[in-house]
Structure formats: structure tokens, C-alpha cells
Amino acid sequence: MKASDNYYAWTATVGEKGQIVIPKQARELFGIKPGDTLLLLGDLQKGLAIPPKGAFQQIYDTAFSDTSKEGEEQ
């Protein structure tokens, strides 16, 4: 279902094994292919999010960047 030019909504059913099927339109729109690994992020207040493919590296870099040099010997 298309809400506007940039926003979409779909439904998915969770199977007995906890698996969901990503709707075909969503897979095509986001280039999701069999065997792809997706990152799921959860927030108890906001719910689940699946960032775009390729976002993992940026998220990893942000989460694990050493912004403080505390304790580093010079």
C-alpha cells in the first residue's frame, strides 16, 4: 500500500517458526534478494525497524567509533 511518494505500508504474518514473509512489492522496491542479510533494530516504545541494505556498515561505524581517546596512551 502506497501512502505517498516516499512512504509505504504492508502487513506480514508471523509463522509458527517466527518467520515473516516480506511482501513482493517491498522486496522489489528495496532490492531484497534471497540470501540477503537484514538488520533488525528494536525499540520497546517505537517498535521494529529494518534499515536499508548497506546501512549496516554506517550503523556499525557509528556505534563502535572511538570518539573519545580516553585511556589511550600517547
Say what the pLDDT of residue 54 is. 77
Q: Domain residues of the chain, as ranges?
A: 37-65
CA atoms 7, 9, 21, 43: torsion sign = positive
**What does each of the 74 residues of the chain score in pLDDT, given as a tens digit?**
566 678 999 999 999 999 999 999 999 999 999 998 888 889 999 999 888 877 878 888 888 887 655 555 54
Dihedral (Cα; 4, 11, 45, 17), 10-degree rounding: -150
**CB distance 11 to 20 below 8 Å:** no
